[in-house]
Amino acid sequence: MGLLDRQNWDVNPSAKAVSVTYASTTAGDQAAAIIPAVAGKKIRIFAISVSISIGGSNCYIRNGAGGTQLTEQFFRTLSGSAFPSYYSRSAYPGIFLYESEVSKALVLNCTTAAAVVSVSLVYSYV
């Protein structure tokens, strides 16, 4: 995590960091949430990085299982590429990238099975 993430912690002292790796994914919503839901709370994402294995699937984050799409789609590597896909984005201090619906977990959705996907977030409940 970079300088902007450090500044986000200064502005948002309740911010937490989490990293989740799915050793193999299934098509559709993953059973384990990235961030669990808290009743009456939204989840704000301040920074995100996603790594998808070579030949992996396209993925995005949803508002709970079967919910609406929250993030843009993270694309897998091009067919025949020798490199994994990597996506990283941070917000400026005091603002956020994404905000979930109230009482919804953040769930990873993938288009196909068998990819190794790692997701790291800086987030807080509001």
pLDDT tens digits for range 25-69: 899 999 999 999 999 999 999 999 988 887 778 899 999 999 999
For the ranges 11-25, 81-95, 102-116, the one whose mean pLDDT is highest:
102-116
Contact 124, 14 (CB under 8 A): yes
pLDDT for 8 beyond 60: no
Alpha carbon distance, N-terminus to C-terminus of the chain: 22
Question: Alpha helices, DSSP H only, in 39-90?
Answer: none
pLDDT score, position 11: 57
pLDDT score, position 115: 73
Q: For tokens 């059973």, what's the residue? A: 31
Nearest CA-CA partner of 49 in 36, 67, 34, 69: 34
Give the gyration radius of the chain's Cα atoms.
14
pLDDT for 1 beyond 60: no
Has this prediction a pTM greater than 0.85?
no
> How far is it, in rounded angstroms, from Cα 126 to Cα 112?
32
Architecture of domain 3-125: Sandwich (2.60)
> Which residue(s) pair with 49 in the sheet?
88, 120
Domain boundaries, the chain: 3-125
> How far is it, in rounded angstroms, from Cα 122 to Cα 48?
7
pLDDT score, position 83: 62
pLDDT for 81 beyond 80: no
